[in-house]
Structure 1
Amino acid sequence: MEQRIEKVLKNLGKRNISAKFFKTKEETREAILKEIKEEMSVGIGGSMSVKELNLYEDLIKAGNQVHWHWLSEPSKMSETRRIAATSDIYLTGTNAITEDGELINIDGVGNRVASMFYGPQKVIVICGINKICSDLISAIDRIKNEACSKNANRLNLKTPCAVTGQCTDCQSPERMCNITTIISGRPMEIDLQVYIVGEKLGF
């Protein structure tokens, strides 16, 4: 795994994407909190990885304005997503990262993936070692047959994958595989940073 992580970090660098490695969740959490100044507004995408780092309360205590639709009233979720997308710094996970250094994501609404490459001034993408895949095909397979089914269950969505755990490329009204993005290099107007964590995080 150590050689695999080194390969990912090296290839992210070749793509002009800043990348760092942290052994533990706690080290990652501390580094993120140091990166965020009190005057910064913070947007958070729908991310179990971010949730597992328990950043929200500390950011609020530090005086940051934090915009996270998971904590909004249902009627205000869309507005919160839009505000988060223009924050000074945006925190999110990634569904998968290839050994070649590409970030692969699948989204239902699209706010999370769009905010990774346009809108915020800086984006920090958090990636546990469970998200590292050998190539694009295995990354998409991992997302559709592991991450999406777990998220569908978490959200109580009425999709086949929530029942079977396998993607059937359904056309359900609650389908979450609506938008697929591949980030192959640093977006021109975004300070994109990837934090690889030496533990499992998220789905």
Structure 2
Amino acid sequence: MVSTVVQNLEKRKIKAKFFETKEEAKKEVLKDIQPYASIGIGGSATIKEMELYEALLKENKKVYWHWQVEKEKVSEIRQLASQSEVYLTSSNALTEAGELINIDGVGNRVSAMYYGPKKVIVVCGVNKICSDMISAMDRIKKEACPPNAKRLGLNTPCAATGNCNDCLSEARMCNVTVIINHKPMTVDLSVYIVGESLGY
């Protein structure tokens, strides 16, 4: 199935590679970002689990990640991340047909995936692969947003119940939905699929 996803991504002009382990993918990311000075990171448990932030600091890169700064600097760092030369993140779901499906609360992560940075690298564990868009949305609503809302301590129904209620809560994180059907015109987009379960 993974080979089919890789082939379908490439048909959509999105560069795609498969790695057995997150360590192999991490080495490839660090190699690919070498020519660039500034790296932005979108909210991503996958990137955190790979310990890429720490590795990038050792490479003496300018790294912008709002998860690593005090609350009053979050907005500024989000903006700087979206203006970086390279943007690293994950995807909430990836269809077998090669489409990237994402839901965001603020929109900074999803917007930077298709506009702003010169290069975008999306790292996805095999747990993110879904048969189609419907199952992808179902996965996000059941397996991504509720546990993420709980992790963030948000006052939403899904954080309490573990199920999406399509709420109108002020703390709602399902505010912006983006589908990348094909390589964005001005972005060098790569998807690295890892043969492990990563992130939400």
Q: TM-score, normalised by structure 2?
A: 0.98
Structure 2 counterparts to residues 24-173 of structure 1, below 5 A: 24-37=21-34, 39-173=36-170
d(CA) in 2 for partners of 1:141, 1:158 = 21
- After alignment, is 113-122 or 30-39 more displaced? 30-39
Offset of residue 70 of structure 1: 0.3
1:202 and 2:199 aligned: yes
CA shift digits 1:122-145 (9 cap, x unpaired): 000001000000000000010011
Q: Secondary structure at 1:16's aligned position in 2?
A: coil
Q: Secondary structure at 2:30's aligned position in 1?
A: helix
Amino acid paired to 1:75: E
Offset of residue 58 of structure 1: 1.6
% identical equivalent positions: 61
Amino acid paired to 2:95: T
Paired position in structure 2 for 1:7: 4
Structure 2, unpaired ranges of 5+: none
| Alignment size in residue pairs | 200
CA shift digits 1:155-198 (9 cap, x unpaired): 00011111111111000000000000000000000000000000
Could you tell me whether the CA contact under 8 Å between 2:125 and 2:193 is conserved in 1?
Answer: yes
d(CA) in 1 for partners of 2:125, 2:174 = 21
Q: Secondary structure at 2:123's aligned position in 1?
A: strand
Offset of residue 39 of structure 1: 4.7
d(CA) in 2 for partners of 1:182, 1:93 = 13
d(CA) in 2 for partners of 1:67, 1:188 = 24
Offset of residue 40 of structure 1: 1.7
1:183 and 2:175 aligned: no
Amino acid paired to 2:7: K
d(CA) in 1 for partners of 2:120, 2:68 = 20
d(CA) in 2 for partners of 1:126, 1:151 = 18
Offset of residue 91 of structure 1: 0.2
Could you tell me whether the CA contact under 8 Å between 1:145 and 1:165 is conserved in 2?
Answer: yes
Q: Secondary structure at 1:195's aligned position in 2?
A: strand
Amino acid paired to 2:4: K
Paired position in structure 2 for 1:23: 20
Could you tell me whether the CA contact under 8 Å between 2:115 and 2:186 is conserved in 1?
Answer: yes
Q: TM-score, normalised by structure 1?
A: 0.97
Offset of residue 36 of structure 1: 1.4
d(CA) in 2 for partners of 1:57, 1:141 = 33
d(CA) in 1 for partners of 2:129, 2:106 = 24
Could you tell me whether the CA contact under 8 Å between 1:104 and 1:182 is conserved in 2?
Answer: yes
